[in-house]
Amino acid sequence: MGKISTGSSSLDLFLQGGYDDDIITTVYGTSGAGKTNLCLLAVVKVAESGKKVIFIDTEGGIAIERIKQLSNNFHQVLENIIFFHPVNFEEQKEIFEGIRSLITDNVGLIVVDSISMLYRLELGRSEEVYEVNSSLGKQIGVLVEISRRRKIPVLLTNQVYADFDKRDQVKMVGGDLLKYGSKCLLELQRFENCRGIILRKHRSMPEGIEFKFKIIEKGIEVVD
């Protein structure tokens, strides 16, 4: 079982070396919790090493200025990122249908930020719920296959909604499709003075352990 760095030595320590390289890791939480920031930390680390990163940005939320802050070699990092910007679920589906052709030994990370935004919008306007869910399931299946066969880590972000049956708890959009497709689940929470990560699922680490941090210009810093 290999690992790649999260881009933060403190978070690497928390995850016993970083993100596993043969699974999907899903980071989920409310808006502004820091999901994209965590992705960019890993993206910059991989791109600086000379590996390529496939980045599917469904939210239009990638700030080039933020990448500049995180990297001492900004131009090399951008050269090593392959960006996709789907604006609807059909375009997202088409990207996944062709993603296998982009996979080489030089790809070090795949990021989808977020996997659920365009899916959620499609559900809201389509009467073919089964077809939409089936398409999302196929997309996740493609990512599972790539990560397992090629040992390429996959990092997803996901949106949440309130669980009114359980006060103060949230559920991931996509439900079991994302839950079972991801071998590592990291829930992000916002607190008054910091943010927190709760490990909700992992194949070799205890669930429920927490990591608190602040977002700073050069990345994140641990909060005791």
One digit per residue, the tens of pLDDT, for the chain of length 224 reads 699 999 999 999 999 999 999 999 999 998 888 999 999 999 999 999 999 999 999 998 777 889 999 998 999 999 999 999 999 999 999 999 999 999 999 999 999 999 999 999 998 887 889 999 999 999 999 999 999 999 999 999 998 877 655 555 678 887 788 889 999 999 999 988 999 999 999 999 999 999 999 999 999 999 97
The DSSP output letter for 101 is G
Residue in the structure block whose two tokens are 């680490």: 205
CA-nearest of 97, 168, 106 to 138 is 97
State phi, psi for 29 to the nearest 5 degrees. 165, 180
CA-nearest of 198, 105, 202 to 160 is 198
State phi, psi for 218 to the nearest 5 degrees. -95, 10
Helix, strand, coil % in the chain, rounded to nearest 5 = 40, 30, 35
Distance CA 123, CA 65 (A): 33
Q: Which long-range contacts (CB under 8 A, 24 or more apart) does 215-220 make?
A: 215/34, 215/37, 217/69, 218/69, 218/70, 219/7, 219/8, 219/41, 219/70, 220/8, 220/10, 220/11, 220/34, 220/37, 220/38, 220/41
Q: pTM for the full model?
A: 0.93
Q: For the chain, which domains are there?
A: 3-222 (3.40.50.300)
